[in-house]
Each structure stands twice: as structure tokens, then as C-alpha cells.
């Protein structure tokens, strides 16, 4: 039996406060640290995964969908990534990452440097991305793993 635990906290690469741009209620999933046209600004407390949960959680899989702040979250979980090597599922949107000072390539290189392989998730299948230049400039779902036996 697998257990899924959720926490209502904003994660980043440091601790403190940030402004979150809250999207309208008809599309609340677009709330982000990026500036968005509609929606109000709210102050949120941010934490590093390693500092807050590193001794409590030994994850096998991590799902991230934070509208461009994915690299901030990953940088705050260096220890977890280095020690436990969880598989990571995330939506990658180059445009959103660029708005926060990163890119799809920088995100991929960050994980490749930690020994991860990358796959683009397409429907029911996985396409291995061998070279970072192959990644799409469009939004796509990605699966990262250190499991060398993964066949997609």
C-alpha cells in the first residue's frame, strides 16, 4: 500500500516570504510566483523542502506543477534529490520558467547533473530525451528518473 501525503506550503530554494499572484477562481491552478494579468497578490511563506521535510520524508515520487517555479522547488530539495533520487513528474513550460529567470534547458541540466534521465510523456508512452536540445519550447509533461532500467 502506498501512502500519499499533501502539505499546504509554498516551496522554493530559500525560506522567507514571496508574493504569489493568485489566479481567478475559474482557473486557480494558474496561480504563480510569476506575474499574471488577472488576480490579486498575496504574501506567502516559503520554505525549503530539505529544511522543512528532509528528515521526515523519504519520497519515491515527486509531482511538481508550480507554473514556472519548478527549478526553485528543485533547488530547495538538493539533499532529497542526492540521497533518495525520487522519480519526478512535472509540467515543463519554457515561457513560464523564463519569467522567473530559468529555462527548460536549465531545469533539465540541473537534474541531468544529478544523474537523472529525462522522458517526455506523450499520452500512454514515454519518449527518452537524449540531448537537451531536443526538448520542446512548448509546454510538455516530463518524467525524470535515475532508474537505468526504466523503459518507458
For residue 89, pLDDT over 90 is answered with yes
pLDDT in the model for residue 28: 65
The share of the chain scoring above pLDDT 70, in percent, equals 98
| Cα pseudo-dihedral 46, 51, 54, 59, rounded to 10 | 20
- pLDDT confidence of 4, banded at 50, 70, 90? confident
Q: Which of 10-19, 26-35, 59-68, 77-86 has the lowest mean pLDDT?
A: 26-35
Beta bridge partners of 3: none
For residue 146, pLDDT over 90 is answered with yes
Beta bridge partners of 11: 47
CB atoms closer than 10 angstroms to residue 74: 24
- Rounded-to-integer distance, Cα 128 and Cα 117, Å: 8
Give the three-state DSSP class for 43.
Answer: strand
For residue 29, pLDDT over 70 is answered with no
Grid cell 515543463 — which residue? 92
Summarize the confidence of residues 30-54 as an average pLDDT. Answer: 84
Rg (CA), the chain: 16
Residues 52-75 pLDDT 10s: 887 777 888 999 989 899 999 999
- pLDDT confidence of 7, banded at 50, 70, 90? confident
Residues 92-123 pLDDT 10s: 999 999 999 999 999 999 999 999 999 999 88
Amino acid at each position: 500500500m502506498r501512502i500519499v501525503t499533501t502539505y499546504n506550503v509554498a516551496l522554493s530554494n530559500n525560506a522567507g516570504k514571496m508574493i504569489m499572484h493568485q489566479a481567478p477562481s475559474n482557473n486557480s491552478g494558474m496561480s504563480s510566483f510569476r506575474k499574471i494579468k488577472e488576480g490579486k497578490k498575496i504574501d506567502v511563506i516559503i520554505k525549503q523542502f530539505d529544511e522543512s521535510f528532509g528528515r521526515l520524508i523519504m519520497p519515491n515520487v515527486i509531482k511538481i506543477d508550480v507554473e514556472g517555479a519548478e527549478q526553485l522547488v528543485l533547488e530547495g530539495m538538493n539533499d532529497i534529490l542526492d540521497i533518495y533520487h525520487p522519480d519526478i513528474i512535472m509540467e515543463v513550460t519554457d515561457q513560464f520558467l523564463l519569467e522567473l529567470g530559468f529555462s527548460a534547458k536549465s531545469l533539465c541540466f540541473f537534474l541531468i547533473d544529478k544523474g537523472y534521465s529525462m522522458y517526455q510523456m506523450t499520452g500512454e508512452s514515454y519518449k527518452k530525451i537524449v540531448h537537451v536540445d531536443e526538448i520542446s519550447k512548448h509546454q510538455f509533461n516530463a518524467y525524470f528518473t535515475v532508474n537505468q532500467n526504466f523503459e518507458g
